[in-house]
Amino acid sequence: MAVEKSLFGYINENEPVYLYKITNESGAHVTLQTLGAGIQALYMPDRNGKFSDVVLGFDNPSDYLNPDYGYQGLVVGRWANRIRDGKFTFKGEECRTPQNQGTWTLHGGGRFSFTNWEVEETGEDFVVFRRFSPDGEDGFPADFTMRVKYTLTNDNILRIEYGVLSDRDTVANPTNHAYFNLSGDDEKTIEGHYLEIPADYFTETDESQLPTGELGEVKGTMMDFTYAHKIGDMIDTPFRAIIDGVGYDNNYCLKNKSGAFELAARLEDRESGRRLEVYTDLPGIQLYCGGWLSRDYTAGKGANIVKFRRGVALETQFYPDTVNFPEKFPFRYVKANKEFKTVTEFRFTTI
Ligand code: BGC
């Protein structure tokens, strides 16, 4: 195994974006990009050993810069998902973050995902990306360095280790925003994929998808993925936590509130036989099925187009807007000069 570097293309006219490809012994491979420390392609075998790309994305690096295209495969920070009114108080300091959507902050609100990251180190089977974010960038406190290490193992695990170092206490909620489609079929949506999420509760939200602070019980509702069933079974059921026409875009409360490393989701395409299991030490996972992506989009990778419900994002995270519910929602913050760490794994097998 070795990491191969190549030029992807240019953003902002003449700024190069590079790709780093890691191939394992079985031929499975991941292509990472310096832009947003993102996953650009991920080839995994079906039950007959046929490799297909299981993540959505683009041929043209500039397309990744368009937030309407949904942060395809990019690392999101400093704070994933929403912050009500773009403000919170942390350790007595009032912080104001960009209101880049409606009146709230989405995905940090700034350029965190949309810049080239440095490559700090590569090895046989890993790449480490790094981004420095100065004190006050997008309103967040502290000089802040995030490192993201991707490792592809020989047993088809893509491990993502996030590390944050800051010069004073601050907050962080890193995630990766890959959209999976395990079918290897350019036409299929993810409605036929089977999904299981071991969570009895989800965070209740208002009409702007901002947490109210209450938890809703999944039992007896379309939100229940405690048993495996097709994503499409109930996706268009009218329900208070769902925006009509969009479908799932909700945070599930995982059981590992204490930071144990546990199963967070199991996704299967039973036709191809590909199975993905997501493991994390974080307490939440956002299930987002690409319902905000337009049916009319035409950009993608060849005929594999980024559009309505073509991919499902399984974003491990602290619950959205935890910065405004630090006592109520499970949380740990970044302590000065002490590395804050979190790990997520995408484990691929076949059935
Ligand atoms: C959010 C969606 C958003 C998507 C792309 C998800 O994490 O919950 O509302 O459309 O990211 O930005």
294-302 — which CB contacts under 8 Å span 24+ positions? 294/68, 297/69, 299/58, 299/60, 299/63, 299/69, 300/56, 300/57, 300/58, 300/59, 301/41, 301/53, 301/56, 301/57, 301/58, 301/59, 302/59, 302/186
Which three-class secondary structure state does DSSP give residue 64?
Answer: helix
- Tell me, yes or no, if 271 is annotated catalytic: no
C-beta of residue 176 within 8 angstroms of C-beta of residue 161: no
Distance, CA 270 to ligand 1 centroid (Å)? 26
The pLDDT value recorded for residue 24 is 97
Handedness of CA 277, 46, 250, 221 (dihedral sign): negative
The pLDDT value recorded for residue 39 is 99
The pLDDT value recorded for residue 1 is 65
Spatial separation of the C-alpha atoms in residues 110 and 108, rounded to whole Å:
6
Peptide bond into 240 cis (omega under 30): no
For the CA of 291, the closest atom of ligand 1 is: 10
Distance, CA 315 to ligand 1 centroid (Å)? 10
The pLDDT value recorded for residue 258 is 80
- Tell me, yes or no, if 93 is annotated catalytic: no
Spatial separation of the C-alpha atoms in residues 307 and 18, rounded to whole Å:
25
- Regions of the chain with pLDDT less than 70: 1
Mutate to test the pocket of ligand 1, among 179, 288, 310, 314 (most ligand atoms within 8 A of CB): 288
CB-ligand 1 contact for 249 (6 Å cutoff): yes
CA 57-147-53 angle, 5° bins: 25
**Catalytic pick from 29, 107, 137, 177?**
177
Mutate to test the pocket of ligand 1, among 249, 287, 306, 309 (most ligand atoms within 8 A of CB): 249
CA 54 to each of CA 42, 50, 58, 101, 327: distance values in angstroms, whole numbers, following the listed order: 6, 12, 13, 29, 38
Name residues whose C-beta falls within 8 Å of residue 126's C-beta, 6 or more positions apart in sequence: 3, 22, 149, 150, 151, 152
Look at the block and give the residue holding tokens 């187009």: 305
Look at the block and give the residue holding tokens 């794994």: 345
- Rg of the chain over Cα atoms, rounded to whole angstroms, equals 19
Distance, CA 289 to ligand 1 centroid (Å)? 9
Residue among 277, 269, 270, 274 at smallest CA distance from 50: 274
